[in-house]
Chain A
Amino acid sequence: MALNGRNAGNANGDAERDPQLDRLYREAAREAPPAHLDAPILAAARRDAGARPRSLTSTLRRWHVPVSIAAVVIVSVSLVILVREEDGEQIVPAVAPPAEQPAAPSAQPALADAAREATQPQPAAPAPQRRDSREDAGAPAVLGKLADSARPESGPPAPSGVAAVATPAPAAKPSPPPFVAAPPRVAEERGAPVAADTVTAGRLAGAPVPPGEPPAARSAADVPPAKAMARAMAAKAAEQDRPPVWEGLEKEPPEKWLARIEELRRQGRAAEAEEMLSEFKRRFPKLPQP
């Protein structure tokens, strides 16, 4: 048995094993620690494990993965909600302006004007890109809908003032007719006297709702303050984005301007009438003022 020779040729230390020696050793070495040693050691182990609070590091290590997953989920959901809300708010201002003119009580002649305006290019009225594309895409079809919605009895009950406008309704999505759902309420809003707007603004600020109010109007006051504030901001943005009251009359003769101013006054829209009158003075300074 060339033990030394075989051994000397072993380059790998892990090969330093002899199966026969291993077997012999396993058979020979059977001693075990006395049983009386077990109890104190195990008791000490239990005492130590139970007495000492877990270290902060080990606790953090244990909760590391679940907390990370929860954080990712929360952040993702928050982002999705925020993005969706922002989408809704951006769509609303784009929806509001087309409803403005046809919303007047004498809606039928105004609708005819609006139809003419929609089919003609209007270089003088710069508007956001998004709104333009929507108007171009859906103007003819929407005008028909607007004509229907301008009649108070024909439209479905309006959900609630600004709440309905700010909520990202399915109809407000980019696909066909994007603002069909919103116009009825918007038309109401624009067509109503200024006092009505003031009431709506009061609601948004959290003012109590009079008991006689219809449920649709009351629901705006039911929204939480933060949401109401967000919607108020959206409404304000929409207001700022709306086209001037004289939009479409830029190339019309002064008589049309005066007729429009008179019409606004009859409707009780004094502020808009004043605004238009100022513009009239600026454009036609040599004409006698009404």
Chain B
Amino acid sequence: MGGGAESTDEELMLLYRDGDAGAFDALYARHKGGLYRYLLRQCRQAAAAEELFQDVWMSLIRARAGYSVQAKFTTYLYRLAHNRLIDHYRKNSHVAMVSFDEEDREAIADPPDERERPRDETLDAKRQAGRLMELIAGLPEAQREAFLLQQEGGMSVEEIAQATGVTRETAKSRLRYAMVKLRQGMLGWR
């Protein structure tokens, strides 16, 4: 069994819930990269990201029998990851998830750094990618999370709000400010 390539994530998870281990293999292959990168960018340490990565998948396995389709599978998976990250932040006394007001002020107060803007117009894609990664790493956690959920999880604003447990407006604002900062940071780099 295991479900074909045409099966949706939710169908695969239902199959797995009903005992089809092959369906889990397919789900894992689909989402392991995105989930890993989300965790890696959020905790910034490969070892911690690997530990969190394993924990999230184990949580999914443990929740198998009680699974029912109430949202997109990615929303479900990244909500597990989000909760596990918050535990990780608390455990490590990390000041996570800065308040939304702070994010606003920060976005307005931080204009693009003109000194970092390269003068060479022939920058290659690698340097552009490196620049983007730096900018992403510099985002506040909440904004970075919103951006990563959009990119890695393919989520809409509503789904980001569900996965992170905030209102749609909050999720939308986080995403908007993340995009503003990234665009401003990439001015002259592309």
Residues of A within 8 A of B (CB): 1, 3-4, 7, 10, 13-14, 16-18, 20-22, 24-29, 31-34, 37-38, 40-42, 44-46, 48-50, 52, 54-55, 58, 62
| Closest Cβ neighbor of B178 among chain A residues | A16
In Å, the complex CA distance between A13 and B176 comes to 8
B116 to chain A, nearest CB (A): 16
Residue in A3, A17, A49 whose CB lies within 8 Å of B21: A49
| Closest Cβ neighbor of A55 among chain B residues | B65
- Asked if B179 lies at the interface with its beta carbon under 8 angstroms from chain A, I say yes
Majority SS at the chain A contact face? helix
Residues of B within 8 A of A (CB): 16-21, 24-25, 28, 32-33, 36-37, 40, 50, 53-54, 57-58, 61-62, 64-65, 125, 128-130, 132-133, 136, 150-152, 156-158, 168, 171-172, 175-176, 179-180, 182-184, 186-187, 190
In Å, the complex CA distance between A58 and B183 comes to 48
Residue in B32, B136, B157 whose CB lies within 8 Å of A32: B32
Residue numbers in B under 8 Å from A50 (CB-CB): 19, 21
Contact A42 B25 (CB under 8 A): yes
Contact A14 B33 (CB under 8 A): no
Residue in A27, A38, A42 whose CB lies within 8 Å of B125: A27
Contact A37 B53 (CB under 8 A): yes
Contact A37 B65 (CB under 8 A): no
In Å, the complex CA distance between A28 and B40 comes to 14
Contact A48 B176 (CB under 8 A): no
Q: Given A13-B156, A14-B156, A28-B129, do A33 and B50 touch, yes or no (CB 8 Å)?
A: yes
In Å, the complex CA distance between A148 and B148 comes to 97
Q: Given A16-B150, A28-B129, A32-B32, do A44 and B61 touch, yes or no (CB 8 Å)?
A: yes
Q: Given A14-B156, A34-B50, do A29 and B21 touch, yes or no (CB 8 Å)?
A: no
A131 to chain B, nearest CB (A): 60
Identify 16 residue pairs between A and B in the complex whose beta-carbon atoms are under 8 Å apart, listed by A's number.
A1-B187, A3-B183, A3-B187, A7-B180, A16-B150, A16-B176, A16-B179, A24-B132, A28-B133, A31-B36, A37-B53, A42-B25, A44-B57, A45-B21, A48-B61, A58-B65
9 tightest Cβ-Cβ pairs between the two chains A and B: A13-B157, A28-B129, A13-B172, A33-B36, A45-B24, A49-B21, A3-B183, A46-B21, A41-B57
Contact A52 B65 (CB under 8 A): yes
| Closest Cβ neighbor of B50 among chain A residues | A37
B86 to chain A, nearest CB (A): 21
| Closest Cβ neighbor of B60 among chain A residues | A45
Known pairs A13-B175, A29-B37, A41-B54 / 7 extra A-B pairs, C-beta < 8 Å:
A3-B180, A16-B172, A20-B190, A45-B25, A49-B20, A49-B21, A58-B65
In Å, the complex CA distance between A28 and B133 comes to 7
Contact A18 B179 (CB under 8 A): yes
B153 to chain A, nearest CB (A): 13
Contact B132 A28 (CB under 8 A): yes
Residue numbers in A under 8 Å from B136 (CB-CB): 25
| Closest Cβ neighbor of B15 among chain A residues | A49
| Closest Cβ neighbor of A49 among chain B residues | B21
